[in-house]
Every structure is written in structure tokens, then in C-alpha cells.
Amino acid sequence: MVPSPTLGPMELRLDPAVEQTLADLADARDRLPEELAREAVLRYLHEEGAPVRALAERLAKEHAELLRRLGE
């Protein structure tokens, strides 16, 4: 799947119980639910991306010579 270069506003459908929990937490922290959801997505992407980045770095090191030759 190729990401859209102009990804704009996104709608996130939550079941009512999750939506209420998010609203309650946002209210308790004097924040907008959208802010908490955005932070949660960013945290998830960072956490899930870390092992992928580590694997890519390891593979690049292991195959550095091959990658160098392919680039010639």
C-alpha cells in the first residue's frame, strides 16, 4: 500500500465505550479527545517502527558490501 502524499484529516471510528473512555480521560486532563488520540497514534507508530528500523539497520550492515556493489 502506497501512502498518500497528501494525507489529510482522518476519521477514526470508535465504539461508544472507547469513545466515552477517551472523552473522560480528555476531560480529566483538560485536553481535547483529538489531542489524546493523535498522541496515542504517534506513540504507537514510534513503538511499532523501532523494531522495523532496527532490523533495517542490521540488514544494511550485514549486507553493506552487496549494497555497495549494487550501487556501482
Query: Is 2 within a domain?
Result: no
Q: Does residue 54 lie within any of the structural domains?
A: yes
Q: Tell me the Ramachandran region of residue 30: left when phi exceeds 0, alpha when psi lies from -120 to 50, beta otherwise.
A: left
Model pLDDT, residue 33: 96
Strand ranges (DSSP E) for the chain?
none
Prediction pTM value: 0.64
What total number of domains does the chain contain?
A: 1
pLDDT of residue 29: 97
Beta strands in 1-71 (DSSP E): none
What does the pLDDT read at residue 10? 85
The answer to whether position 37 is within a domain reads yes
Q: Over the Cα atoms of the chain, what is R_g? A: 20
Range of the domain at 60: 30-70
d(CA 59, CA 51): 12
47 part of a folded domain: yes
The answer to whether the CB of 24 falls within 8 A of the CB of 35 is: no
Is position 4 within any domain? no
Q: Tell me if 44 is assigned to some domain.
A: yes
Residue 53 lies in a domain: yes
Is residue 34, in this structure, part of any structural domain at all?
A: yes
Average pLDDT, the chain: 90
The per-residue pLDDT for 28 is 98
Local structure of residue 71 (DSSP, 8 states): T
**Low-confidence residues of the chain: pLDDT under 70:** 1-5
